[in-house]
Each structure stands twice: as C-alpha cells, then as structure tokens.
Structure 1
Amino acid sequence: MNGSIELPDGTRIRGRGLRRPLPEGSAPDVGLYLGSGRLRRRHDDSLTWPHTWIDWPDFLLPRDGEQAAKDIRSLYERARGGEAAEVACGGGVGRTGTVIACLAVLAGTDPVDAVAWTREHYERRAVETPWQRRWVRHFPS
C-alpha cells in the first residue's frame, strides 16, 4: 500500500492525515481513525472499507483509553496477518503518530524508545504532546 512504513517486526502500516488526499494505489483492507464526532461526520462516508473510530480529541488522549488500546491491538493483529492497514486522524501527526508509536511497542520496540522510533520512521513531529508521549510509555505491550 502506498505510503506505508515497516514496523520493527516487519509489519506494515500506513499513517496519514484525513485532510490530505487518499494516496494513489489500493485502498486499505482495514482502517483505524482517530477524532471527534465532527471529523467522523466529515470523513466517514469516504471510508468505504472496514474501519473503526476512536473518539480522540485533537492534542489530547482517547476518551476511552482501554477501548482504544484494544482497537490498536486489533489493528496491529490484522496488519500482522497481512492485511493492508491504515491509521489516520485529521492532520496525521499527533494522534496518528501516537498510535504508530503504540504499534511500534507491540512490534517489539521498548516503550521508552517508541516516540523516537516513530519520529525517525514516520514523521519528525509525531506524538505532539507530553500526555501523548506518556501514554505511549505506559502502553501495554
């Protein structure tokens, strides 16, 4: 899938911002989308593949952290199984970067190093806030 990155264990994932055009190439098999009801209303109809939304306000943390962790693990397992998977929020940086860092933890990266790994391999500004960085450090692998 165009624009995907390889996690430390070889699993592939694509991160993007929903405000940007869909990359050329095949659509994902599964998606995990992060945002408020407003972002969901704006973009949900264009997501024609199986997907899940996490209620996650911009610059903050998911409203239900336990359910979010389950959804992130599910996305990882599907991607690990070979499905083309994507994660996205509005801009594709903070929330998306946070999830990619959590996926890196699931793929074997030490939680302390996951944000740096994500910034090196995905987006240099990923995981924008101190509370997002803290959430990654405590993400259960």
Structure 2
Amino acid sequence: MTASLTGAIQLPDGTRVRGRGLRNPAPPGPVPDFALYLGSPRLRRRHEPALAWPHGWIRWPDFLLPLDGHAAARSIRDLHARARSGEGVEVACDGGVGRTGTVMACLATLTGLRPGEAVAWTREHHHHRAVETPWQRRWVTWFSTHGDT
C-alpha cells in the first residue's frame, strides 16, 4: 500500500482517488500504484513516456464519451476496487475537468450516491466545472444503471 497520493480526495465511502490534468506537472510525493488515463491516441503518445507506473488508457475524446462504454465501465470499477484495497490511484485526462470529473462522478455512484448527487458531489470536491457536457452527465446515469454489464 502506498501513502496517500498528494491531492487525492476521499470518496463518500472513504476510499481515496486523485484526479488531475496531465497538462499540469505531476504532484510531488509518491507516484500512483495504478492510474487510469482518458484520452486520444495523440494524448497518449504525448504523455506515455513519462508514466513510469502501472496504468491503463480509455480512448475518450475531449468533451465526448468513451469509445467503448462497457470497457470504460469495467476499467472504472477496477480503479475503484484498487482504491478500496488501499492502492494509491489516480485518474487523469488532459485538463482534469470533464472526462476526469465524469469518472470521479462514476466512482461516487459506486459509493451509493445517485447520479445527480454524484455529479454535485464531484463539482463540490473535485472541480466546480466537472462533468462538462449534458452527455457526460447522462453517461454517469448510464454507468450507474448499466455499467456493470
């Protein structure tokens, strides 16, 4: 188990997850035990060389939705399980707001919050503009009801 990651927030179930933007420098302190990154192949090529810890990628265009929703849902559930087991985990996209916020809201639904509550919680605790688009808000609802298939 790694010490808590700098900047990690506590989800309603007590697990800790760091959400951030890849365009910003990595926070000081321990590196993640595992990370989930959200973006295009171009974003991946830009950042992959600096990511020296175990991680996965979800192909997720900026302002849109993951290209494979079911695979994304499995990855988000896996990230939550890792966090619950005590691993230091992070989720990040380029800016750390829309896609990252959407995943943070999905994680919040796994703690028992309803989708609207999860979005409000994420905006209060992660970023005030998190979950930027109407379709991202709808995807949080889809995740909470269909994301386990």
Q: Does the alignment pair 1:71 with 2:78?
A: no
2:113 pairs, out of 91, 109, 116, with 109
How far 1:111 moved relative to its partner? Answer: 1.6
Distance in 1 between the 2:115 and 2:85 partners?
A: 23
1:39 pairs, out of 39, 43, 46, with 43
How far 1:137 moved relative to its partner? Answer: 1.5
Distance in 2 between the 1:104 and 1:32 partners?
A: 16
2:13 pairs, out of 9, 25, 30, with 9
Instruction: Between 106-115 and 66-75, report the one with greater CA deviation.
Output: 106-115
Identical-pair percentage:
68
Distance in 2 between the 1:107 and 1:24 partners?
A: 28
Question: SS where residue 53 of structure 1 aligns?
Answer: strand
Code of the residue aligned with 2:117 in structure 1: it is D
Runs of 4+ in 1 over 2 A off after TM superposition: none
Code of the residue aligned with 2:67 in structure 1: it is R
How far 1:116 moved relative to its partner? Answer: 0.5
What runs of 5+ residues in structure 2 fail to find an aligned partner? none
- TM (norm. structure 2) is 0.93
Code of the residue aligned with 1:108 in structure 2: it is G
Question: SS where residue 34 of structure 1 aligns?
Answer: strand
Question: SS where residue 138 of structure 1 aligns?
Answer: helix
Question: SS where residue 32 of structure 1 aligns?
Answer: strand
Distance in 1 between the 2:116 and 2:141 partners?
A: 6
Distance in 2 between the 1:43 and 1:139 partners?
A: 27
Question: SS where residue 113 of structure 1 aligns?
Answer: helix
Which aligned pairs between 1:1-141 and structure 2 lie closer than 5 A?
1-140=5-144
Distance in 1 between the 2:57 and 2:141 partners?
A: 23
Code of the residue aligned with 2:22 in structure 1: it is L
- TM (norm. structure 1) is 0.98
How far 1:70 moved relative to its partner? Answer: 0.2
Instruction: Between 108-117 and 79-88, report the one with greater CA deviation.
Output: 108-117
Distance in 2 between the 1:110 and 1:120 partners?
A: 15
Question: SS where residue 108 of structure 1 aligns?
Answer: coil
The superposition leaves residues 49-108 of structure 1 with CA deviations (integer Å, 9 ceiling, x where unpaired) of 110000000000000000000000000000010000000000000000000000000112
